[in-house]
Amino acid sequence: MAGYYRYSMSNNAKDAYKNGIMPYSKWTKKAILRVLKKKAKKEKFEIKEEHWMTFNKMPVKQLKDILLYYSEWHHTSSWYNKTDFYALDYDPDEDYASIPIEHTSKRDIEVPTEEVWKCKYLEWSGTRSYPKSTEHESWGVIKGEWFYMLNGSCIKKKSIYANGFVQLEKFECDKIEIES
């Protein structure tokens, strides 16, 4: 059915949600298991107990990789963005219980270092048709992919990959002389 539902998505996208087809980011572990249960009831097949146990132990990323596939795209937002939608693909004959479960340990996750930098960045204003950029310089902390700076009484953050972002000078502790 052509047309738009409010200003958030097309009517076809709304129908896709009703049929258990959603954008990748909307698929949570709970949503995957809920849609899988509905699909089993609707299509009259049984999900093996060992599959349920395996799916409950799997991290959501692995569950998405195993059970989701690209299905279709729909227009979303008032800007008519093209959004990819994914559907569930469960095969009752497949041996999901033998798939090794991926575990991410907190030791495996790399903790980003924090460094103090003076950076130059752009702030955008104006309209989409007539954008206007203003260049700023500020000291702040770079942690991972973000630059955090104090602006008045609030903390602002800027991606270090943003257009116009330049690292100018790193703060070095050994340059400071402490008087005793």
pLDDT at 165: 93
The answer to pTM > 0.85 is no
**What is the domain partition of the chain in residue ranges?**
4-98, 114-170
The beta strands (E) that lie in 89-175 are given as 114-126, 131-143, 146-151, 154-159, 166-170
pLDDT at 30: 95
| Contact call for residues 20 and 87 (beta carbons, < 8 A) | yes
pLDDT at 22: 95
pLDDT at 102: 86
With left for phi above 0 and alpha for psi between -120 and 50, is residue 44 left, alpha or beta? left
Whole-number Å distance between alpha carbons of 143 and 112: 6
126-143: b or e for each residue (b if 16 or more CB lie within 10 Å)? eeeeeeeeeeeebebbbe
Give the full edge-to-edge strand order of the sheet including 4-5.
4-5, 9-10, 68-76, 81-88
pLDDT along the chain (180 residues), means of 10: 80 92 95 93 91 92 94 89 94 89 68 86 92 92 90 86 91 63
pLDDT at 172: 82
